[in-house]
Structure 1
Amino acid sequence: MSTYTLIATAAMGLESIVAKEVKDLGYECKVENGKVIFEGDETAIARANMWLRTADRIKILVGEFKAYSFDELFENTKKLPWEDYLPEDAEFPVQGKSVKSKLYSVPDCQAIVKKSIVERLRKAYRRTSWLDETGPLFKIEVAIHKDVASITLDTSGRGLHKRGYRVGQGEAPLKETLAAALIQLTTWNADRPLVDPFCGSGTIPIEAALIGQNIAPGFNREFLAESWPMISGDVWDKVRMEAEDLANYDQPLEILGTDIDHRMIEVSKENALEAGLGDLVKFKQMQVKDFTSELDYGVIIGNPPYGERLGERKEVEKMYSDMGKAFKELETWSVYMMTSHEHFEQCYGKLATKKRKLFNGFIRTDYYQYWGPRPPRKELNN
């Protein structure tokens, strides 16, 4: 098998969580802005796509070089071993972006990279005519940052947040990758109750159930690189079998999603059913101020309304205040809330143990963490 430089792209603020997941898969990595870089073979490509819950995509770095002129971009792209990646009939559109660089015209950069790859492949495959591009799809990206060009191949296809279970959603759905990150930033484990009081289309409860039963997030979807000749079908079959073997379908879970909107509760139930978790996750229509529980040491994770629209702010602040009063009764529970509202703590009535800056799409938010006491250690059976 060959070794590749792989890039797991990550939303701003989630790089360290993606890096931990990469290390948990057994790969050493380094973290840069918006990406985690590691080395791996074809199996690593398949496993990263299958298992990384918080990464956006897995890309192969084909080459990186300085490019101050279109000539340099053309010649350096042409030096790369494209025939090792692309078969003779490959379809290979080129996307591009350029930031703080002399080569700022993205359409020109795309056209030059495309032309350069065509020239390299025609020579490699001894073609006198144009390439047909009727075969498997390879998405190429040229990204130029401060005059350094990085050329990558996207192995994922659809973004990794598209797990394949979302049949319905609300107005502003939480990305599955961010939902998984919110859970991983808490003290929750499968032995503790978990509640999302603003569940919307059910993303946080569903992602928690996948984590709780160690179900690979990519188990029910396909990836672009599955059609590539350079990665044999056996590799993907083995990685899927590994995922099946590692899933713990017998792990009992206590997960509840509630929402004020009865229509979203129905959507959540449909999504959980599609994910194969229909009996495992419970959903209930409820206002957050009415939440109570007899259970101990639970974890509440929520992405409540932010009150960003005019006219909603007072209503949202009242709801934060009601929530603080309701959760005060849950003495052993931990609470984690993500919102862009800068006065959340004052409305909630308590300062957070810790805050973490995160981005929900392009909205800058804080993740307010209220740590409850640690659950007592379970005594081992003799």
Structure 2
Amino acid sequence: MAESFFSPCPRGLETVLADELRALGARAADVVPGGVSWQGDWAACYRANLESRIATRVMWRIAGGRYRSEEDIYRIAYAPTWAKWFTPEDTIRIYVTARRSPLKSLEFITLRVKDAVCDHFRTVAGRRPSVDTANPAIRIHAFLSADTVTLYLDTSGEPLYKRGFKPQAVEAPLKENLAAGILRLTGWQPGETLVDPMCGSGTFLIEAAQIALDIAPGLGRRFGFEQFRHFEHASWAAVKRAAEGRRQPPRPLPIHGSDIVGEWLRRARLNLESAGLARCVTLERADLLEREPPAAEGVMVANPPYGVRLGEEEELAAFYPRLGDALKRRWGGWRCYFFSGDPALPKLIGLKASRRTPLFNGALECRLLEYRMVAGSNRPRREAQDGGAPPAA
């Protein structure tokens, strides 16, 4: 029997996610702003949680209706048979998001949804679940449009970009699912040389290595659906067994990372070790402006720093023209991609982007800029036989 699901993702990656979900068995995948609605059985739900590299969550649609007031939302939230899916012993948390809703207080709506769920359990079981905002067993999402509310049970638990292995508790510049989506947009394929010359904590490197070895991103973690009373253990075991059977053992890959900051390189190395991928990636401390490419052609992908402190904007304004010069001088034959929220980068780099893809890093509007460096076209020509100097590049 087909169930209805919704998978949010970083904005700008909706079409890429739809293609990925279809490949994982989703049916009727429909792109909407911020994600993809789709249908499938529970095996497809389990597979999407385990193998999607781009989805943030997989949410199961359980109810919905039209509303005019908070009391309408209470009535809609009271109606589902919550006790079929979890017990009063399971802790809960309610999440509410809204777009163009006339209701003013999301906090009050959250309270009314919580009251409805708890009142339902008091009626059918004589006791109610407790709220746990830190580590709930069950996550319930309510989405409000201008006049409708839709309720979902979260089948993922922790967001899917939490792959379950990074030990370095630092706020990464971009989430793992955004990095995976950017890799997809570059057209990089396993076996093709990949370089991240500003690798930071190694997010692009880890995602690329997992793709190259066909390692499902969720193999190291647990999921919210494992808490459901109707959890299909045998179906989940089969999905997980199939993914584990495709997983390739670690081996050296043509994936390279570098950074000018030694501390970030140390973090990248620790994160690769935690993921069991240390031998797959070559790391070195290097300045992008000076380093040489590891192959005649390939894909470069980087998330350059974005100036937020006093003085950084001036430093970056001086850096971008030098970056463009380094690409012309050394990286002929490469497809180079820069993900940035800094509008100064495309203006100052001195190169014409062949493609600009709008993406969002959280609430920050960014661009993925593609520069195709034609081999030989920007290299100084040999001096003429009369001894004259070559023309400037």
Same fold (TM over 0.5): yes
Shift of 1:362: 2.3
1:167 matched to 2:167: yes
Per the alignment, residue 350 of structure 2 pairs with 349
Deviates more, 1:283-292 or 1:241-250: 241-250
AA partner of residue 149 (structure 1): V
Misfit runs of 4+, over 4 Å: 132-136, 169-172
Unaligned 5+ segments in structure 2 are 376-393
Identity fraction in percent: 30
Contact 1:212 1:251 survives alignment (8 Å) = no
Q: TM-score if structure 2 supplies the norm length?
A: 0.87
Per the alignment, residue 146 of structure 1 pairs with 146
Shift of 1:244: 1.0
Question: Residues 1-382 of structure 1: matches in 2 within 5 Å?
Answer: 2-28=1-27, 29-87=29-87, 89-123=89-123, 125=124, 127=125, 129-131=126-128, 137-168=137-168, 172-249=172-249, 253-293=253-293, 295-328=295-328, 329-371=330-372
Contact 2:353 2:371 survives alignment (8 Å) = yes
AA partner of residue 13 (structure 1): G
The superposition leaves residues 46-86 of structure 1 with CA deviations (integer Å, 9 ceiling, x where unpaired) of 11111111111111111121110233223323332323323
Instruction: Decide whether aligned partners of structure 1 residues 39 and 294 sit closer, same or farther in structure 2, where only a CA change above 3 A counts.
Output: closer
Root mean square deviation of aligned Cα: 2.3
Deviates more, 1:331-340 or 1:88-97: 88-97
Q: How many residues align structurally? A: 370
Shift of 1:253: 1.8
Shift of 1:251: 6.8
Q: Partners of 1:188 and 1:298 in 2: how far apart?
A: 8
Contact 1:167 1:270 survives alignment (8 Å) = yes
Shift of 1:252: 5.3
**3-state SS, counterpart of residue 185 of structure 1:** helix
Shift of 1:175: 1.0
Deviates more, 1:297-306 or 1:230-239: 230-239
Shift of 1:310: 2.4
Contact 1:98 1:105 survives alignment (8 Å) = no
**3-state SS, counterpart of residue 109 of structure 2:** helix
Shift of 1:12: 1.4
Q: TM-score if structure 1 supplies the norm length?
A: 0.90
Instruction: Decide whether aligned partners of structure 1 residues 315 and 134 sit closer, same or farther in structure 2, where only a CA change above 3 A counts.
Output: closer
Q: Partners of 1:266 and 1:194 in 2: how far apart?
A: 20
Instruction: Decide whether aligned partners of structure 1 residues 133 and 230 sit closer, same or farther in structure 2, where only a CA change above 3 A counts.
Output: farther
Shift of 1:19: 1.0
Shift of 1:172: 4.7
Q: Partners of 2:373 and 2:212 in 1: how far apart?
A: 20
Instruction: Decide whether aligned partners of structure 1 residues 209 and 132 sit closer, same or farther in structure 2, where only a CA change above 3 A counts.
Output: closer
Contact 1:103 1:147 survives alignment (8 Å) = no
Contact 2:193 2:298 survives alignment (8 Å) = yes
Instruction: Decide whether aligned partners of structure 1 residues 39 and 306 sit closer, same or farther in structure 2, where only a CA change above 3 A counts.
Output: same
Shift of 1:122: 4.4
Shift of 1:234: 2.4
